[in-house]
Structure 1
Amino acid sequence: MTPDAVLFDLDDTLCRYRRSGASLLAAAFDRTGIEPFVAAEEYYGRYPEFVEESESMVDLRERCFAAIAAEKGHPPGAGRRVARAYADERDHGNVERLPGVEAALGACSDVPVGIVTNGAPEMQAKKLETIGLDDAFDVVVHAGYDTAAKPSSDPFEAALAALSADPARSYHVGNSLRSDVAGANAAGVRSVWLAGDDADAEPSRRSDPDHVVSGLGMLPDVLSTRNRP
């Protein structure tokens, strides 16, 4: 039986950043000559506060850095300068494909494929373009923007509806037990957990994957096993 569709997460499933957020932020402060006033963890923690009022990813990031700068006794403009430098450092060739992408997509050559990703549309589109996969998918759902964020079942259901696919005959591949596996399970999609460095994480009843792989290169075996008579 050929699957109706195969969905993929993007970040840390198909691609990854070459440098950590902490490294990028340090470079941004260095480039601007502004004394560091926030750590990467705090920035990430404040990020959701500005999503609803922001018009774009650029606007969101600048609002966040400006607010944190003001709270720490710096001019908001300094925060916006750091935000722009951070974006430049992050987007300048800082994304790369993960191993096994070609094998995974090759196994889906006759099957509709989609992306279900938590992330801003312009940011995720840039990543797909950078790794040469901007035309590789039949649908891209930006969870948290087009629909509720993962682990809600909504983005999975939206992607499958666009592909006219039956959840029970479809797969989702992702690295996060909490977001990818739990969300796919909630949508009735067969979940494939890309364990990677998280191989010792403990699945729960809600996030118990149907399949576990240590790399994308194992996905062809998962699909071929399901398709054997």
Structure 2
Amino acid sequence: MTVPTTAPVDAVLFDLDDTLCRYRRSPATVLERAFERAGVDPLFEPSAYYDRYDDYLEDSSSVADLRERCFGDLAVEAGFERDAGIAVAEAFAAERDQRAVDPLSGVPDVLETLGEEYRLGLVTDGDPGMQREKLAAVGLTNAFDTTVFAGYDTAPKPDPEPFGRALAALETDPERAVYVGNSLSSDVAGARATGIRSVWVPPGPDFPAEPTPCPDYTLESLADLEQPPWLES
């Protein structure tokens, strides 16, 4: 979809994980501890879980249910009993503290500055209870005019549905909104499919010179949003 870039912006939507906040412990560290806690050898790599996460999102009743389904399947595929994968999922939940997150650099100031000029929305994949805990931990509970929990309220990203629901709540049109996120496949692709301009904040310094799909704007850090790039277009 071709995204118009000339209309003035009146709404800014955000992703949450690794865009506004980040866990203090990496998924690899938590999974390693979960294997130890469950008393089993490593059954799969952390990347296997995150590669398959979206496959279970829409049909799971909670993140605990999602992990049990996913870890159970991964265990079976690796030649282990399903119960071993479920035990690791339970251990992972015990090790993962949703409050053990920190805001990324510049987040509170950026949201405060943008909130004076634009309506703000959050579109995040994830269990509502889990995501609310993160928002509370980083002081962002009341930062947004609307929040959509994709995969629970709607289809998961990059489906246009969660973005469209946020736009409807903010009473704005796609061409008058931008979406800020760290994932090309989820955030940028979903924004483009909806007709929203995308702002990509790469998760690290080693990012492709020609990202696919191509975002409308690429920033080195979220702090750069204090001078919105769409005003320079």
- Normalising by structure 1, we get a TM-score of 0.84
Q: Retained in 1: the 8 A contact 2:188–2:198? A: yes
Which residue number in structure 1 is paired with residue 4 of structure 2? Answer: none
Counterpart of 1:105, as a letter, is L
- Give the CA deviation at 1:140: 1.3
Structure 1 runs not aligned, ≥5 long? none
Task: State how many pairs are aligned.
Answer: 225
Cα RMSD after superposing both structures: 2.7
Rounded Cα–Cα distance in structure 2 between residues aligned with 1:187 and 1:104: 24
Which residue number in structure 1 is paired with residue 228 of structure 2? Answer: 222
Rounded Cα–Cα distance in structure 1 between residues aligned with 2:126 and 2:206: 24
1:90 aligns with 2:96: yes
- Give the CA deviation at 1:73: 5.7
Q: Cα gap change, 1:127/1:187 in structure 2, threshold over 3 Å: closer, same or farther? A: same
Q: Retained in 1: the 8 A contact 2:98–2:133? A: no
Aligned pairs for 1:56-95 (under 5 A) are 56-70=62-76, 72=78, 74-91=80-97, 93-95=99-101
Tell which deviates more after alignment, 9-18 or 185-194: 185-194
- Give the CA deviation at 1:182: 2.6
Could you tell me which of 135, 145, 149 is aligned with 1:138?
145
Q: Retained in 2: the 8 A contact 1:211–1:222? A: no
- Give the CA deviation at 1:80: 2.6
Residues 87-110 of structure 1 deviation map (CA, whole Å, 9 limit, x = unaligned):
122226432211110121022223
Which residue number in structure 2 is paired with residue 161 of structure 1? Answer: 168
Tell which deviates more after alignment, 66-75 or 123-132: 66-75
Rounded Cα–Cα distance in structure 1 between residues aligned with 2:81 and 2:207: 44
Q: Retained in 2: the 8 A contact 1:196–1:215? A: no
Rounded Cα–Cα distance in structure 1 between residues aligned with 2:58 and 2:191: 25
1:203 aligns with 2:199: no
Rounded Cα–Cα distance in structure 1 between residues aligned with 2:21 and 2:163: 20
- Give the CA deviation at 1:54: 2.9
Q: Retained in 1: the 8 A contact 2:188–2:200? A: yes
Q: Secondary structure at the match of 2:114?
A: coil
- Give the CA deviation at 1:162: 0.6
Aligned pairs for 1:115-130 (under 5 A) are 115-130=122-137
- Give the CA deviation at 1:74: 4.8
Residues 167-188 of structure 1 deviation map (CA, whole Å, 9 limit, x = unaligned):
2222211112232223223322
1:28 aligns with 2:34: yes
- Give the CA deviation at 1:131: 1.7
Q: Retained in 2: the 8 A contact 1:103–1:216? A: no
Rounded Cα–Cα distance in structure 2 between residues aligned with 1:99 and 1:72: 39
Q: Secondary structure at the match of 1:7?
A: strand
Identical-pair percentage: 49
- Give the CA deviation at 1:72: 5.0
Residues 50-69 of structure 1 deviation map (CA, whole Å, 9 limit, x = unaligned):
44543221122123323444
Q: Cα gap change, 1:60/1:196 in structure 2, threshold over 3 Å: closer, same or farther? A: closer
Counterpart of 1:155, as a letter, is P
Which residue number in structure 2 is paired with residue 112 of structure 1? Answer: 119
Q: Secondary structure at the match of 1:108?
A: helix
Could you tell me which of 37, 41, 47 is aligned with 1:41?
47
